[in-house]
Amino acid sequence: MPATGQSHIRIARPSRDLAAAERFWVGGLGLSVLFRADSAGNPDEHDLLMVGWPDASWHLELVYDAAVEPQPTEEDLLVVYLDEQVPQALLARLEAHGGKRVQARNSYWDTWGASIEDPDGYRLVLSTRSWSNS
């Protein structure tokens, strides 16, 4: 079957600390833990954490591998379109769970939302726009 607009998307990223990542993405943003695996010291396996909203057609897979260091840039963005103002309580919760407010490299995102770095340095953008008018 070819890829379609209904195909599920997995965004995979390395993480330095899965517990810190879980605090940010689950405790801060409100995603759910969809799956987790522990390598139990097996060199052919990885510790991983999959988070997302159960009804979404995407999820975020965070993988810990001591040999792989996250190397995010200021343009590695995960954008969530809220279609409303960014709640200050949500920003405070993200910061309390290990996030750091940052100025966007592209001023578009500062105009239309807020940027927060996760514990691995990847950026989450909460956009005030809707997907249809972005």
- 97 to 9, 22, 131: CA distances (angstroms): 25, 9, 27
Tell me the per-residue pLDDT of 2-14, one tens digit each, with 9 for 90 and over. 888 888 999 999 9
pLDDT at 134 > cutoff 60: no
Q: Which pLDDT score, from 0 to 100, does residue 56 have?
A: 92
Domain boundaries, the chain: 9-64, 77-133
pLDDT at 94 > cutoff 80: yes
Tell me the per-residue pLDDT of 54-83, one tens digit each, with 9 for 90 and over. 999 999 999 998 889 999 999 999 999 999
Q: Which pLDDT score, from 0 to 100, does residue 51 have?
A: 98
Contacts of 122 (CB under 8 A, 6+ apart): 13, 70, 72, 76, 78
- 66 to 11, 18, 24, 30, 120: CA distances (angstroms): 19, 12, 20, 27, 14
Under CATH, what is the fold of the domain 9-64?
A: 2,3-Dihydroxybiphenyl 1,2-Dioxygenase; domain 1 (3.10.180)
Phi and psi, residue 35, nearest 5°: -170, 150
> In the predicted model, what is the mean pLDDT of residues 103-128?
97
Which stretches of 25-133 are assigned E, i.e. beta strand?
A: 32-37, 47-52, 58-64, 77-81, 100-102, 113-117, 123-127
Predicted structure pTM score: 0.92
Q: Which pLDDT score, from 0 to 100, does residue 44 have?
A: 77
Q: Which CATH class is domain 77-133?
A: alpha beta
Would you say the CATH fold of 77-133 matches that of 9-64? yes
> In the predicted model, what is the mean pLDDT of residues 109-117?
97
Q: Which pLDDT score, from 0 to 100, does residue 1 have?
A: 63
Q: Which pLDDT score, from 0 to 100, does residue 133 have?
A: 61
> In the predicted model, what is the mean pLDDT of residues 24-31?
98
